[in-house]
Amino acid sequence: MSGEEQTVDWSVLPYEEGPLYIAKTEKGLCYVGSPGQTYQELSTWIQKRFPKAKLAENEEALRPYIQELQDYLKGTRQTFSFPADVKGTSFQEEIWAALKQIPYGTTCSYSDIAQIIERPTAVRAVGTAIGANPVLITVPCHRVIGKNGAITGYRGGTEMKHYLLQLEAANRGND
């Protein structure tokens, strides 16, 4: 969280299940929303993370982010080049860093993530930290599934999680 006044730019990423609000600070992408989300939900989230921020609709500022996300959703991009500005607890940030290590087109379980961070008994805490991920898709929390292979909770909804996993499976060799 920042104590200084700043502008957080936002725009909308077209997505077949409903537009996704995205936002960025001067440091990078700070938010990718869920299908069906409202502007009010975006505003509330931003105010919690950046209490002195002013939201400004700015498609031009978000254009490079939108382009890379659209390329990903078309199956023509597997990684992102833009910076992110994600803040959380040290534990959340450790989990989000671990998520970024999951290769495109593959999955792992919550307990796998707990093992990676060398806290094998922290599976529930891992799930909670994953659920707090502010930048869907770019920090690939959709790649985490139940130990039994079940598609489990996802802030973007299980339909979106299924879609992203199928997209990646179909395009795994296309880089």
**Catalytic residue positions?**
141
What string of DSSP letters covers 2-48?
-SS-EEEEEEEE--TTS-EEEEEETTEEEEE--TT--HHHHHHHHHH
Same domain? 64 vs 97: no
Instruction: For residues 11-27, give the mean pLDDT.
Output: 92
Last residue of a domain, which of 73, 103, 130? Answer: 73
Model confidence at 115, pLDDT cuts 50, 70, 90, reads very high
CATH no. for residue 166? 1.10.10.10
Looking at beta carbons, which pairs linking 92-97 to residues 24 or more positions away fall under 8 Å? 92/129, 92/132, 94/129, 95/126, 95/129, 95/130, 96/129, 96/133, 96/139
Last residue of a domain, which of 39, 73, 107? Answer: 73
Same domain? 110 vs 159: yes
pLDDT at 4: 63
Q: What is the pLDDT of residues 32-59, one digit of tens each?
A: 999 989 999 999 999 999 999 999 999 9
Whether the predicted pLDDT of 9 surpasses 60: yes
Task: Give the number of domains in the chain.
Answer: 2
Angle CA 164–60–17, to nearest 5:
30
pTM attached to this predicted model: 0.90
